[in-house]
Structure 1
Amino acid sequence: MKPARHHLARCRRCSAPIVWCLTSANGKRQPVNYEPDETGNVAVMQGADGKLYVRAVTAARPEIRPGEWQAKPHQATCPARQLPGRSSAPSPRAVQGVRPVPWQR
């Protein structure tokens, strides 16, 4: 099962097709790949309000229920994502205004 076309969006970084879902745990928005994937670790379903909801597929709840489809979070597959340890922020500047003499008691 695929999400409806009106849910389709594009990733700002790589332009891949994604859908925005609300997490079932805390209601935050999460980008998920538009194409279903049997190796994915999330289950997506459309709620009665027309919004998409996502939950993690865990060992405690591994089954995909009727009306859900399995997918991958887009952060896991985005080719333009930032790699760990590589920040786009500039490196910290040297500390200025340091005492030139050691502290004395």
Structure 2
Amino acid sequence: MKPASHHVTHCKGCRAPICWALTTANGRRQPVDATPSAEGNLAVTQGADGLLYVRSLTKAHPEPRPSEWQAMPHHATCPSPPPRRSSGGGQRSRSGVRRAPWQGLQG
């Protein structure tokens, strides 16, 4: 099975045909190669809402279902991936205490 042509776009880095799909695990967008691949570790399907959804193929479910097609994540095949963004989870430096007006107890 192949994705519908209206789902196919092109990678900004390498211009390869890709599709954007929502992960079933957390609903985040993930680029996948538009060309089905027998070596792929993802199963992609079109939902009733017309959107593409992707799930990982695992040992428990190693084969795609009849309505799914097998694909590779585009990050694994792109020859010119975009630079990684920082997750923002690191330590931030602090340079002192921000002063605030004193608000005493009112009784």
Q: Which runs of 4+ in 1 moved over 4 A?
A: none
Q: How big is the alpha-carbon RMSD for the aligned residues of Structure 1 and Structure 2?
A: 2.0
Question: Residue 32 of structure 2 aligns with which residue?
Answer: 32
The amino acid across from 1:3 in the alignment is P
The amino acid across from 1:43 in the alignment is A
Provide the TM-score with structure 1 as the length reference: 0.77
* Deviates most, 24-33 or 55-64: 55-64
The amino acid across from 2:43 in the alignment is A
Equivalent pair of 2:32/2:74 in contact (CA under 8 Å):
yes
The amino acid across from 1:76 in the alignment is A
Which runs of 5 or more structure 2 residues have no equivalent in the other structure? 85-107
Alignment of 1:61-72 (within 5 A): 61-72=61-72
- Aligned pairs, number: 86
The amino acid across from 2:81 in the alignment is R
Q: Equivalent residue of 2:30, what SS? A: strand
Identity %: 61
Deviations 1:37-92 (A, max 9, x none): 00100000000000000000011111211110000000000000269xxx7xxxxx
Structure 1: how far apart are the matches of 2:29 and 2:82? 19
Is 2:19 the counterpart of 1:19? yes
